[in-house]
Amino acid sequence: MNYKTRMRRGRRTDALRLLARGVTLTTDDLILPLFAVEGARKTESIDAMPGVFRMSADRLAEKCETLKCPGVMLFGVPPADTKDSTGSYALREDGVVPEAVRAIKKSRPDLAVITDLCLCGYTAHGHCGVLAESGEVDNDATIDLLGKSALVHAAAGADMVAPSAMMDHQVEAVRAALDGGGFSRIGIMSYAAKFASAFYGPFRDVADSSPEFGSRAGYQLPPENREEAVRDALLDEAEGADWLMVKPSLPYLDVLSELTAQTRLPVAAYQVSGEYSMIKSAAENGQIDETDAFFETLTAMKRAGAAAMITYWAEEAAEVLSRL
Ligand code: PBG
């Protein structure tokens, strides 16, 4: 037949496919989440997330020495007996996060160190802020604490802080605190569109941050509502965020795509713990090829508009990509 259009012409050889390729993943697209614990020479494995470890500052610094992606996202896992009603450990200058930031910056000053800014890992009740008498999270008291915690991270040398509590005006409060403390050069990556998701399950085991009662649906986004998510994210831009983020990643690619169309800020996609564990388990059962699967998911995020991907595969993916 004399069909004019034949899509397969462009797919015939590797070279032709490469020339017409859409997005290409690079090591520069990746941010690795890291979990910091107290002590020295500690590497703790986590049942819920094979291949992910909680590490003391010295071990984190060692890991970062050979890391081939440009950024890390740091989470603090304080000792269980330090947790209290206000998450006061989050303000300690010798806490796990500031210590880890200093150690990593010493071994890799060139690495972008972004710190997660939330109270859920530090409060005894496991909610993302301090509680009002009603039992709900007190928004304005919480953002005040997030601002103070941001100052501790910035003073330790963090390049960006990433408020993840989903409190109203948290970006504004953190920006004001940083500017007031002489850290106007330190950026804010806002967890702008963070959904109330089942996919955070394994992370809550890692970070020991499950809410003791209720859920986070009173502050995280409802999965059903794209308009609300985009609106909330754009408010963070207006409050001075330097980056926005959509989280989880694959179930919310439509939100990512819509948001990147609505903003000129870079938008990160966070491939969360449940997304990681799902593929990992399928791979361990021999049902799926792990490397092919994670590359495909990361490609999907970049295609949907992500400027960077936060993924537990960042180290491995960057290793493979740097050898291509
Ligand atoms: C803290 C926070 C969470 C995650 C990142 N920051 C957990 C939560 O909201 O319960 C989840 C990350 C992941 O699942 O990989 N608020």
Average pLDDT (208-215) is 86
Average pLDDT over residues 185-198: 97
Per-residue pLDDT band at 57 (split at 50, 70, 90): very high
Tell me, in angstroms, the distance from the centre of ligand 1 to residue 204's CA: 7
Task: Give burial (CB, 10 Å; 0-12/13-18/19+) of 26.
Answer: middle
Whether 214 has a pLDDT exceeding 90, the answer reads: no
C-beta atoms surrounding 33 within 10 Å = 22
Q: Which of 293, 203, 292, 305 is nearest to 253 (CA)?
A: 305
Give the closest residue (by CA) to ligand 1 atom 14: 200
Percent of the chain clearing pLDDT 90 (strictly above): 94
- Which domains are assigned to the chain? 23-322 (3.20.20.70)
CA 53 to ligand 1 center in whole angstroms: 16
What pLDDT sits at residue 210? 86
Tokens 């399928």 — which residue? Answer: 282
Question: pLDDT category, 35, cuts 50, 70, 90?
Answer: very high
Atom of ligand 1 nearest to the CA of 272: 15
Residue 86 reports pLDDT greater than 90: yes
Q: Which residue has the higher pLDDT, 152 or 48?
A: 152
Q: Render pLDDT for 153-183 as a digit per residue (tens, 0 to 9).
A: 999 999 999 999 999 999 999 999 999 999 9
* Distance, CA of 234 to CA of 319 (rounded, Å): 34
Asked whether 131 and 183 are in contact (CB, 8 A), the reply is: no
Query: Whose CA is closest to atom 12 on ligand 1?
Result: 272
**Which of the pair, 215 or 115, is modelled with greater confidence?**
115
Pairing of strands 30-37, 53-56: parallel
Query: What's the rounded Cα separation, in Å, for the pair 96 and 65?
Result: 19
pLDDT of residue 161: 98
**pLDDT tens digit sequence for 267-292:** 999 999 999 999 999 999 999 999 99
Distance 268 CA to ligand 1 centre (A): 15
Q: How far is the CA of 46 from the centre of ligand 1 (A)?
A: 16
CA of 275 to the centre of ligand 1 (A): 12
What integer pLDDT is reported at residue 75 of this predicted model? 97
Query: What confidence score (pLDDT) does residue 261 get?
Result: 98
Residue in the block written with tokens 């710190």? 115
Q: Which residue has the tokens 């520069």?
A: 28
Distance 117 CA to ligand 1 centre (A): 10
Residue 18 CB partners (closer than 8 Å, separation 6+): none
The predicted model gives 69-89 an average pLDDT of: 96
pLDDT at 54: 97
Average pLDDT over residues 108-132: 95
How far is residue 125's CA from residue 301's CA, in Å, rounded to a whole number?
34
Closest CA to 182 of 154, 143, 153: 154
114 band by pLDDT with thresholds 50, 70 and 90:
very high
**Lookup result for tokens 């397969």:** 8
pTM (predicted TM-score): 0.96
Return the ligand 1 atom nearest residue 203 CA.
Answer: 14
Minimum-distance ligand 1 atom for the alpha carbon of 165:
16
* Residues belonging to the active site: 194, 247
Which residue CA neighbors atom 6 of ligand 1 most closely? 164
pLDDT over 90 (residue 88) = yes
pLDDT tier, 237 (very low <50, low <70, confident <90, very high otherwise): very high
Nearest CA to ligand 1 atom 8: 200
Which of 118, 149, 206 has the most ligand 1 atoms within 8 A of CB, as the residue to mutate? 118
> If we measure between CA atoms, which residue out of 182, 39, 32 comes closest to residue 103?
39
Q: Tokens for 271?
A: 């491939």
Q: Which atom of ligand 1 is nearest to the CA of 116?
A: 6
Segment 186-195 mean pLDDT = 97
Task: Report pLDDT for 209.
Answer: 85
In the predicted model, what is the mean pLDDT of residues 101-127? 96
pLDDT exceeds cutoff 90 at 255: yes
Alpha helices in the chain (DSSP H): 14-19, 57-65, 96-107, 139-156, 170-180, 201-206, 226-238, 253-262, 273-284, 290-303, 314-322
Q: Which residues line ligand 1 (CB under 6 A)?
A: 116, 118, 120, 128, 164, 200, 203-204, 209, 216, 272-273
209/123 Cα distance (integer angstroms): 8
